[in-house]
Structure 1
Amino acid sequence: MTKPIIEDALTNLYCGMNFPKTLVMADLGCSSGPNTLLVASELIKSIHEIRLKLGHDESPEIQFYLNDLPHNDFNTLFLSVSKFQKNLTQPPCYFFGVPGSFYTRLFLNKSLHFVHSSYSLMWLSKVTSLSIHTRTHT
């Protein structure tokens, strides 16, 4: 259901700026199970298809941050990444782990082009209370 929305957002990103040679993306709350790299796979495929449709010759390199809480099984996650990268044909894709809650700051200002999270809305009340708490103590 989200694929058309993601493709539209990526197309707008691709058309709306001088597209960077390195595209920086993040998957917040990535987990470490069998579907962990499904989002990355779909994003990479979409970027490739959009690039071809728009007639761009060169694929951007993709820097992909995988985020989850520190107790996530990052060892299993990176074993999956290693296998995933061997099957990639294009574009070049580099993965990094970012442990921590996505309710706190995880990345540098203006350092990401695209952020995805499959399961963040169910925690929205916690974000609201966190942002109110943060505002009153800063």
Structure 2
Amino acid sequence: MKLVEVLRMNGGIGDISYANNSLVQRKAILMTKPIIEQAMTDLYCNLFPKSLCIADLGCSSGANTFLVVSKLTKTIEKERKKHGFQSPEFHYLFNDLPSNDFNTIFQSLGEFEHDLRKQSGEGFGPLSIGYLRFLI
């Protein structure tokens, strides 16, 4: 059996989809939240970059896809407001196996960006989103 077949997830948003059956992964992401937030705070406060590129290697699909990048972005926005700086330019790269359900991700991008801008408030910087695929 090929590795791609073993790692394959169910696409879409149905009852058996990965998007609706990834609670364990979500819990793991949330458990690492304090560590990730501290690392991002340290990075930002030491460099004060004008642009940031955040890559999610193995992004999956569904709500977990945007969970990490939105947490990282909120952390940066909190710090930049605290220091009175202009928002950096954000670049997000999503990456996964070719069998990933990128259609569901792309259909969610508009809502993701809208929510992110709403939560970040005025002054949120430019945003670009791209994706790459692992080729196996």
CA distance in 2 between counterparts of 1:56 and 1:28 reads 31
Q: Is structure 2 residue 129 aligned with structure 1 residue 95?
A: yes
Q: Is structure 2 residue 40 aligned with structure 1 residue 6?
A: no
SS in 1 for 2:43: helix
Structure ranking higher on relative contact order (CA contacts 8 Å, 6+ apart)? 1
Unaligned regions of 5+ residues in structure 2, if any? 1-30, 118-123
Q: Is structure 2 residue 81 aligned with structure 1 residue 47?
A: no
After the TM superposition, list the runs of 4 or more consecutive aligned residues in structure 1 that deviate by more than 2 angstroms. 90-93
Count residues in correspondence: 100
Q: Is structure 2 residue 66 aligned with structure 1 residue 37?
A: yes
CA distance in 1 between counterparts of 2:76 and 2:97 reads 27
Would you say the 8 A contact 1:68–1:98 is kept in 2? yes
**In the alignment, which of 64, 74, 77 is matched to residue 102 of structure 2?**
74
**In the alignment, which of 20, 27, 30 is matched to residue 56 of structure 2?**
27
Q: Deviation of residue 60 (structure 1)? A: 0.3
The structure carrying a bigger helix percent of its residues is 2
Would you say the 8 A contact 1:66–1:96 is kept in 2? yes
CA distance in 2 between counterparts of 1:37 and 1:23 reads 16
Would you say the 8 A contact 2:45–2:79 is kept in 1? no
TM-score normalized by the length of structure 1: 0.65
TM-score normalized by the length of structure 2: 0.66
